[in-house]
Amino acid sequence: MNAIISAPELANELAGNTPPVVLDVRWQISLSRAAGAPEFDGRAAYAAGHVPGAVYVDLDGELAGDASPELGRHPLPDLAVFGSAMRAAGVDAERDVVVYDGGQGWAAARAWWLLRWTGHPRVRVLDGGLPAWRGPLESAVPSPRPGGFVPAPGAVGLLDADGAAALARSGVLLDARAAERYRGDVEPIDRVGGHIPGAVSAPTTENLTADGRFRPAPELAERFNSLGVDGGAGEVGVYCGSGVSAAHQVLALAVAGIEAQLYVGSWSQWSADTARPVATGPDPR
């Protein structure tokens, strides 16, 4: 199954006899909290209008656990909480799931990755998110029949800090953050800037076209090949600030036909441990 679905394809499937479960995971990271900027309210955005039948899922509360220096800003969720949220949304292992967000794709990819990691075989991300949707929107909150999905973790690769460090030496570890954070020029959130020694800078934004959709699979494959990914022959891992935008990079790799492992703790966990090495500048080492 393709990892992404276009808006026209989703509209056709929603009109069919076996429509997918649709999850709205609108979320936005704030880098301006110190300036007093208001937090983005995904639930309010959902209430203002969503794809018909879509159920809202909260990234911070249902797709991640409590933040801590030891685990990072968006650690793995409690599986009981995650499973309950998925069942309440109508998710079954036998029924397709489509996830979307506000267009950035990061939050939707996090939900996609979690469902895959916990064993769901048929989940896709709406390419371009809600801005790509040309159908009607509704404000009514649906009441789906509860699903029977039970998370079974381990279906796809997951890295911890030590595994990420080892993969940076033995395979390809991609850093999905902006290049200036990778170099250590700036660090708006975490304790220190820089990157895991050996990691390769690969900003997530370069996976997309100007309209926010994924670049064609051959272009993505060429991009990752230029970063040292040899088409799947070697191990590939991805991290970011807190395991959200990195999920989007794992999704882009999947579109290109390449399996990759996610380091969920990412830089927020790595950099909080003063014993772990930090590299700066444009070079991996």
Residue 227, token pair as written in the block: 């970063």
194-249 pLDDT, tens digit each:
999 999 999 999 999 999 999 999 999 999 999 999 866 579 999 999 999 999 99
Active-site residue (options: 10, 125, 159, 240): 240
Runs of H (alpha helix) within 151-265: 161-170, 179-183, 217-226, 245-255
Determine which helix (DSSP H) or strand (DSSP E) holds 86, and give its type and residue range: helix 79-88
**Region at 196 (left for phi over 0; alpha for psi -120 to 50; beta for the rest):** beta
Cβ of 263: how many Cβ atoms within 10 Å?
30
pLDDT of 215 reads: 97
Residue 53, token pair as written in the block: 């039948």
Q: Which residues contact 93 (CB under 8 A, 6 or more apart)?
A: 119, 120, 121, 148, 149, 150
pLDDT at 34 over 50: no
56-96 pLDDT, tens digit each:
999 999 999 999 999 999 999 999 999 999 999 999 999 99
pTM for the model:
0.95
137-150 pLDDT, tens digit each:
999 999 999 999 99
Which of 108, 133, 144 is closest to 50 using CA atoms? 133
pLDDT at 35 over 70: no
pLDDT of 37 reads: 55
Q: Give the residue-averaged pLDDT of 176-182.
A: 97
In one letter, which amino acid is 145?
R
Give the three-state DSSP class for 238. strand
Delineate the domains of the chain, giving CATH numbers in brackets: 4-132 (3.40.250.10), 158-270 (3.40.250.10)
Q: Is 232 a catalytic residue?
A: no
Cβ of 105: how many Cβ atoms within 10 Å?
30
Average pLDDT, the chain: 94
| C-alpha distance from residue 281 to each of 199, 216, 278, 285 (Å) | 12, 30, 10, 9
